[in-house]
Amino acid sequence: MRIIVMDNYDEMSKRAALMITSQVMLKPDSVLGLATGDTPLGMYKELIKLYNKKEVDFKEVRTFNLDEYYGINRENLQSYYYFMNSNLFNSINIARENINMPDGMAKDVNASCKGYENKIKELGGIDMQVLGIGGNGHIGFNEPNVNFEAETHLVNLEEQTIEANSRFFTSIKDVPVKAISMGIKTIMNSKKIILLANGLNKAKAIERAVNGKINPNIPASILQLHNDVTIIIDKEAASKL
């Protein structure tokens, strides 16, 4: 694992955006794995700036998002589809047909998850996967006590995750309790991984992911076994290392 500690959130975001930009320069049709949440928002803003300055071109880029709530449709303001459109896709030149998101309204969830995995494989696998981390050490929606062998699947969200996500909903009762998430196996099959974290509330999860024993209670700890992980964090998230 490479650990890069930046002074603050803005610097963390810029560094991550430069890594994505370099990836796309080296391989214009890169397959990117993308994440939602507060953490990557600054990185997406930077990518839009770089795109506007013509420093990166997304014309041939393909994307797969890590996860999507189950049971809410794409028009819902809280769907991750909506998030990705409003925070990145609508502002860059990515081709709509190159965007892949888990289908939160799939009737046959298993078939839909299998189809998602197959498509990733057909395109040659994920070149660079962006991850955030939950306060409980989750990556994607792979909650503690994770099955390290799982591919894309339906998950039950933990109480702590539902509570953390309730800030975006009118009431905690509106927060979906299930989601479709890439599994740990899907994530581990990515060629390169960058994990971003900022703020004191992520310090403990980062410490356990980096220095702790690899165990299913801290899903992110499995990343210790991946051979190309870069962790980009601000000073606060690094404060327990």
Q: Which two tokens stand for residue 130?
A: 């962006």
- Considering the complex, state which of residue 98 and residue 202 has its C-beta at the smaller distance from ligand PGA: 202
Catalytic residue among 65, 100, 136, 189: 136
- If you compute the radius of gyration of the chain from its CA atoms, what whole number of angstroms results? 17
One character per residue 222-241, x = contact with ligand PGA (rule: CB under 6 A): --------------------
Site string for ligand PGA, 84-123 (x = CB under 6 A): ----------------------------------------
Binders in 168-227 for ligand PGA, by CB under 6 A: none
**Is position 29 annotated as part of the catalytic site?**
no
d(C-alpha 175, C-alpha 178), whole Å = 9
Q: Which is nearer to ligand PGA, 38 or 228 (CB)?
A: 38
Could you tell me where the beta strands, DSSP code E, fall in the chain? 2-6, 31-34, 62-65, 67-69, 99-100, 128-131, 153-156, 178-181, 192-197, 229-234
Residue number with CB closer to ligand PGA (96 or 167): 167
82 in Cβ contact with 75 (< 8 Å): yes
Closest separation between CB of residue 134 and ligand PGA, Å?
4
- In angstroms, give the least distance from the CB of 54 to ligand PGA: 29
Residue 203 CB partners (closer than 8 Å, separation 6+): 236, 237, 238, 239, 240
Give least dist CB 97 to ligand PGA, A. 27
Instruction: Report, in Å, the least distance between residue 156 CB and ligand PGA.
Output: 15
Q: How far is the CB of 57 from ligand PGA (least distance, A)?
A: 27
**148 in Cβ contact with 222 (< 8 Å):** yes
Three-state DSSP class for residue 195: strand
Active site residue 136: yes
Question: d(Cα 238, Cα 191) in Å, to the nearest integer?
Answer: 25
> Are the CB atoms for 185 and 148 separated by under 8 Å?
yes
Instruction: Rank residues 98 and 101 by Cβ distance to ligand PGA and give the closer one.
Output: 101
Q: Please enumerate in sequence order all residues whose Cβ is within 8 A of that of 220, keeping only pairs 6 or more positions apart, or say none.
A: 131, 133, 137, 138, 139, 195, 205, 208, 209
Angle, in degrees to the nearest 10, between helices 9-26 and 41-52: 50
Segment 120-149, which members bind ligand PGA (CB under 6 A)?
132-134, 138
Region 8-67 residues binding ligand PGA, contact defined as CB under 6 A: 37-39
Give yes or no: 138 in active site.
yes
Q: Is 46 a catalytic residue?
A: no
Q: Which of 65, 68, 117, 138 is catalytic?
A: 138
- Give residues in contact with ligand PGA (CB under 6 A): 37-39, 132-134, 138
Residues belonging to the active site: 67, 136, 138, 143
